[in-house]
Amino acid sequence: MDNLLNRFNELEDDEKQTLYNLVHGENNIYVDKNKLVFDNHSEPMDEFEYLQLFNIVSKYYNDNEWELIHCNLSSKFKNTRVVDSQYTRTYNHVKNSPNWNFIPYNIQGLKNKREKVFLFYNGSCGDRAVHRLMSFHYLLDYKILDKILYSMLERPTDITYDYISGYESQFNSGVDWRKHEDFFKDAPFLLDIDLGENTFIDLEKQYITTPANSLDLPLSHIKETYFSLVTESFFFEPHWCEDKSLFDISEKTYKAVLTQPFIIMARPGMLKYLRQKGFDTFDDVFDNSYDEVENDWERFQLIMKEVNRVCNLEQETLHEIYLSCIDRVVFNQEKFFSYKGKI
């Protein structure tokens, strides 16, 4: 153990700093089971970043002396262990937070009719998250935003629109993305929250405990909506990612899996990944063919078209569909807990 750490100290200062940056801090480099571990379990790593790390580490260590932990679920890099850290994070919170005491569902208590169709949580809309702003644009154009229980915690800025322009140069949609700019001037859009006697809980002790960063989810929001529309952290091909294979899953998806039928705006293959883990993705409820579409702009349009179709169903039809799905949501809850923290 000491030998591995002593050799690490022999690295050039700039090499050490590069490694610290790649794994987000020197505390994430440690020795475990006779290997030097570079622990980046909470962040996906693309090929360019991996090669930076590999080229430095391989100068000083044999392959059997080190390991990289990270969460790019599509990667097959040498000397790596890929983990679904957001599943573990969500599992630990749901198991221990009193605000999730409604899991497993009491089905009888969820048979009421809903005022809204989709639950649609959004935080930032900048950089990699411009698909959230674009989604609002389409919901406004479709005139269905009144059927959505939505939030947006940050107001779009000029930089946000600059990022959209960068993507626009690739897909040439011809859309005026500033058309609804006046609507966004009223952001942030916050939702009323009722947690009974409890408050939002941050079991990880990493943040100031607010609704924006807690893993809690109000049952009242579930009772007001039939389905979840999830905007994942990554949707568009990351502009900084040379191999274009970056793929990870966040707590946003797992919170939806635990609570409602869902549509997920993410990188292609998200639903395929969930199916491989045994979850029901409600392929007979939604047109989930979007999950197989590699072209980001085409995938985005398919998703929004499906959201529009569902929102325009009669309430009786929506209610019947939801009632037919409750047992399947409970199945997903049971599957989620069956992995016991490690998927």
Give residue-wise pLDDT tens across range 208-259: 555 566 788 899 999 999 999 999 988 887 655 555 567 789 999 999 999 9
Note the pLDDT of residue 153. Answer: 87
Average model confidence (pLDDT) for the chain?
Answer: 90
* 41-55 per-position pLDDT tens digit: 888 888 888 999 999
From residue 316, give the alpha-carbon distance in Å to each of 226, 266, 283, 312, 329: 12, 30, 20, 11, 20
Helices (H), the chain: 2-8, 13-22, 47-57, 85-96, 130-141, 158-171, 181-184, 219-224, 251-257, 270-276, 296-311, 315-338
Q: Mean pLDDT lowest for which of 23-32, 65-74, 193-202?
A: 193-202
Query: Tens digits of per-residue pLDDT, 66-98?
Result: 999 988 887 788 999 988 989 999 999 999 999
pLDDT at 12: 95
> What pLDDT is stored for residue 210 in this prediction?
56
Residue 154 pLDDT > 70, yes or no? yes
The enclosing H or E element of 262 equals strand 262-265
> What pLDDT is attached to residue 242?
53
Structure token digits, residue 126: 């900048």
The terminus-to-terminus CA distance of the chain in angstroms comes to 29
Compare 336 and 1 and report the one with higher pLDDT.
Answer: 336
Q: Between 192 and 33, where is the model more confident?
A: 33
- Asked whether the predicted pLDDT for residue 207 surpasses 80, the reply is no
308, pLDDT greater than 80: yes
Which of the given ranges, 67-71, 73-77, 184-188, 261-265, has the highest pLDDT on average?
261-265
Total residues found in the chain within this entry: 343
Q: Are 321 and 285 within 8 A, CB to CB?
A: yes
In this structure, the number of other CB atoms found within 10 A of the CB of residue 338 comes to 9
Average pLDDT over residues 28-32: 95
Other CB atoms within 10 A of residue 137 CB: 21
Question: Percentage of residues in the chain with pLDDT exceeding 70?
Answer: 92
pLDDT at res. 1: 57
pLDDT number for residue 76 = 81
pLDDT exceeds 80 at position 128: no
For residue 241, what pLDDT is reported? Answer: 54
